[in-house]
Structure 1
Amino acid sequence: MALLDDVIDATGGMSRWNSLSRFTLHLSVGGTLFSSAGHPREFKDVIAEGSTRTQSVRFTGITGGEQSGSFQPDAITIESVDGEVLQTWSNPNLAFSDTDSHVLADELHLIFFCGVAIWNYLTTPFLLARPDVAVEELSPLQEGSETWRRLRAQFPPNLVTFAGEQIFYFDDKALQRRSDHDLFGMKVAHYSWAHEIFGGIVVPTLRRSQLRQPDGTVNAKPILIDVEIFDASFD
């Protein structure tokens, strides 16, 4: 597909991505989803280390530097700074229930949420080239003074994502600028910008998630999820 090919080339190229196996991020994650659940600072100034090939992320420095947390599709763990396992949660795939208004109330849910978010954020758009992801190009959409091209992606059930169907938007440089999907019964738009190159891979260092109205317009507030990546490396 021409658009997806352009996007992957603009982000660093599939050859470079396939040569990588690990990523390390220094980042902060916040927003009203976190503060309203009583976790305004648990993911401030943390290190995220993960695999580019399988869904796996380990967060170091959560809860003020006192704990670490690991995300994998079949297990979530929380550990002390000396490696003692404090909590575990097996097979957490049913965590994201639209009927649960306190879905991020405990730290296991919070680690699951952040693991899904960060892994999917970082591996897109290369994730869209997987053979089990169905992608089609949609008509362009006007965003302010810019025209953004769009892809609709259908993800397989064995891939842990926030929604099985998502729409991705790309600017005239073929860089990802927005994605839309449902989340906890809400319609959300995730904006991304401030792209930087780390190890040959282009990464948007700022991301912000806001409520999306049925007509496609986006509310300025509240900021549901706010992600800032300070540094990144790949190997």
Structure 2
Amino acid sequence: MADLRDLVLEAHGAAKWKRFRQIEGDMSIVGLLWARKGWPDVLRSVRVTADIAEQQLSYQPFTADGLRSFYRPDLVAIDTLDGKRLKQRSNPRNAFANHTPATPWDDLHLAYFSGYAMWNYLNTPFILELPGFLTEELEPYAEGHQTWRRLKVTFPDSVATHSREQVLYVDDNGLIARLDYSADVSGGVPSAHFTSGYLEFEGIKIPTRRRAFLRNADGTPIQDGVVVAIDISGIRFS
């Protein structure tokens, strides 16, 4: 049987991914998480611009017309479109200390969480080729009429992410159908995050629909409310 990590990379177009430096997408991001944190519709219509080689990303508009966010693991900020910095926070992950799922966020909390999360989403599975990532195939998982191969991923400390250990669920075409994690900065609640609507851009396959749910101890999703809903209407590489 083919090595699952290599199968996933090939299926998503990893060889083509290496040709580019930046990815841009038009998105709608809503769900119970944003409402609980005090920002129910702030990301409903945004343009996301992400570096590929570096962990850097911005949203525009961000919290108001004429503003954009800036995310890097060690710094988040809010800028005007002409480059004036209005506020910033160094070591932003530390600002989530002792947060629970009910703790509200300020705009810089929002910039950090939405920044690292989307950078991860757009760059997965390609980041598996970066130094320090460890992978291990787990037992398959069956749910309903579907059976997925599973790849456990351990992230290096150098990459900001939801949790150090995550699990990718892989369909028969080698595409990621689901990922499991516990978002440490928002209280560590177990989540099941489904990906679908794959489209090909520049030979690279990107899911255009994402739905995240809370997850039971047996791995099944709790489908009584969508925690995060992401819809992507366009992707551009440069």
TM-score (norm 1): 0.94
Which of 207, 211, 219 is the aligned partner of 2:210? Answer: 207
> What's the secondary structure of 1:9's corresponding residue?
helix
> What's the secondary structure of 2:161's corresponding residue?
coil
Q: Which range is displaced more, 77-86 or 169-178?
A: 77-86
Q: Matched residues in 2 for 1:88 and 1:209: separation?
A: 29
Q: CA contact under 8 A between 2:26 and 2:234: conserved in structure 1?
A: yes
Q: CA contact under 8 A between 2:25 and 2:47: conserved in structure 1?
A: yes
Q: Which range is displaced more, 201-210 or 28-37?
A: 28-37
Q: Per-residue deviation at 1:130? A: 2.1
The 5 Å alignment of 1:1-235 reads 2-12=3-13, 14-97=14-97, 99-183=99-183, 184-235=187-238
Q: CA contact under 8 A between 2:56 and 2:119: conserved in structure 1?
A: yes
Q: Matched residues in 1 for 2:62 and 2:44: separation?
A: 7
Q: Per-residue deviation at 1:80? A: 2.3
Q: Per-residue deviation at 1:99? A: 3.5
> What's the secondary structure of 1:117's corresponding residue?
helix
- Return closer, same or farther for 1:30/1:124 CA change in 2, 3 Å cut-off: same
- Return closer, same or farther for 1:202/1:90 CA change in 2, 3 Å cut-off: same
Q: Per-residue deviation at 1:20? A: 1.2
Amino acid at match of 2:151: L
> What's the secondary structure of 2:224's corresponding residue?
strand
> What's the secondary structure of 1:221's corresponding residue?
coil
Q: CA contact under 8 A between 1:95 and 1:103: conserved in structure 2?
A: no
Q: Matched residues in 2 for 1:109 and 1:177: separation?
A: 28
Q: Which range is displaced more, 63-72 or 26-35?
A: 63-72
Amino acid at match of 2:198: H
Q: Which range is displaced more, 88-97 or 183-192?
A: 88-97
Amino acid at match of 1:165: E
> What's the secondary structure of 1:182's corresponding residue?
strand
Segments of structure 2 that go 5 or more residues without pairing to the other structure are: none
Runs of 4+ in 1 over 6 A off after TM superposition: none
Q: Which range is displaced more, 165-174 or 177-186?
A: 177-186
Q: Matched residues in 2 for 1:172 and 1:40: separation?
A: 36
Segments of structure 1 that go 5 or more residues without pairing to the other structure are: none
Amino acid at match of 2:161: T
Q: Matched residues in 2 for 1:61 and 1:159: separation?
A: 25
Q: Per-residue deviation at 1:174? A: 0.7
Q: CA contact under 8 A between 2:93 and 2:112: conserved in structure 1?
A: no
Identity of aligned residues (%): 34
Q: CA contact under 8 A between 1:138 and 1:149: conserved in structure 2?
A: yes
**RMSD, aligned α-carbons:** 1.5
Q: Per-residue deviation at 1:113? A: 0.7
